Structure 1
């Protein structure tokens, strides 16, 4: 090998080192905000919500990073699927907090998981924003817990009052899931709302997670001749109940009234026309007429080829809220400062509308009563709601 060739190779090698060194220096100088994203993308019904949330949050982070809206801070989502298993949620929270050193967590999908894992974040001083937990008392876990999903007790009474006035409901039956914090919590709220309106409760039926045949419960309910059937269920179970009710010949005049967990685009894919007329309550729907909402729907459809549901919208706003807190704190390490900046946010202009936090760190967005259109596979605003 000639000296000239050796020299040339050494120069090339040194050049390669210089390039790598420069890239390393750039990476080290970049500020990265690590945010844990704990959503159920497997695990039955939970995956219907978790997938929508994950996709919306990743969309938001991509938009924020592309626009350099955090003054040189890049958002990094560390996603883990807990499979709707609260034990796995606890393990994931521990890893995110102790090993990955995240400065915030978005999730988890289920309230069951939140009650198990959120105390770890509270103890560590890591802010959490839930975008699908609607069980009562989730934010009472501690002052680092926030949520963009309005709790059931702030939604269902409005929904039931609308249904009673619209349909003259006097007699109701209830069906709910026994072994999920969200469905049990929804059922408790529903029973209280029924009692507050002095409606006649003609029967209560229950089921366990994994059940797919609800004919026995529906047969009992049909014999009680209610004016309405109230669902404390997840979306997959709600769809099965709606389908089986029609197959059993339950009168179409009987009104189905759902909980927040029934508001999923998958409800219509699974129930089809049987979902016609189901009444639910939410802070948002895909047809919501606001510039930010329309832009979000268009961006989501372009990226994923489907229309977002309420959980996607709540996840998208949660992502923007934590990003705004990080921007104000101008830190990628001080989770307590980020929590304080998050709590200070007022009059936030989000996809859900303009809202602030209340004293319990729940959002103050206006509740909208929605009607299921199973033929068009969408929820629409209830007339005169």
Structure 2
């Protein structure tokens, strides 16, 4: 096991107008589980491929255990790479799947048999070695996948969208054995996923990428409670933060009846007169008809979609911003929900607002 470090890693791909990876500086401690998250095309897979040696870098360095492996061949890095899905060959047995990395290296049959038996026992699939992957449940398939990744005793493991397209229910993902086994073995792991809820559930630390740029690195609590950029705020969470464009006037960010006061440091940090007011769905309350004129801290909106989640209603509403319509999401737990097309009054708590510079997207000082 080893520490992994990316030093100003940049990759420019021919035909693209911006870098796939743009000066990424990131460290994964020995034995840590770092989850890379972001929308499709944000650079997650590119960063894993840079670590595994699948793609050359335009600039920067990759270090594993303090050793510069930037120019090293993929098979000389000690990195195990698992592609999207369960990464198991359906035509092979579990035993053959686990043994595959060793047989590719022409390891002796006796050594392969011993290593497979040991890792299968530790990963909890010893009784299923003769089965095919499609005969296993979700939990056992993930365990078999991890056994295959760990059998060669890598220094680091890269897992790229391991649950994408596998049919694993969302409610089971936070109990994934991938994270459990990573901690039991103490292996350094980089786990890429488009789902920020998966990231929040299992990570030691989370790295959020957007269009090849590293936006923020921190614990789940740090990233969720204090997003560093509007890109992070608008992505992280089952229902990401609402970002409402507002105009800065007379010390306040104003939109409709909502006014949020900016401190002196926040006002000085602005690069223009635009502010993005971030409000989580749980920090908004709904008042239905009869509708009164919005007071301070309220927005007039129209309900466009209402989803019954069983325990509460998730209301999608649309209000008018300074530059056009703005879509909002809020949670409504009590009373009857509005109907599609109903006018509603959305009450916001200014004290719960997160403020971002509209020009740069950076968080304003607290």
What TM-score do you get using the length of structure 2 for normalisation?
0.30
Q: Per residue, is there more strand in 1 or in 2? A: 2
What TM-score do you get using the length of structure 1 for normalisation?
0.29
Which has the higher relative contact order, 1 or 2, with Cα contacts under 8 A spaced 6 or more apart?
1
Q: Per residue, is there more helix in 1 or in 2? A: 1
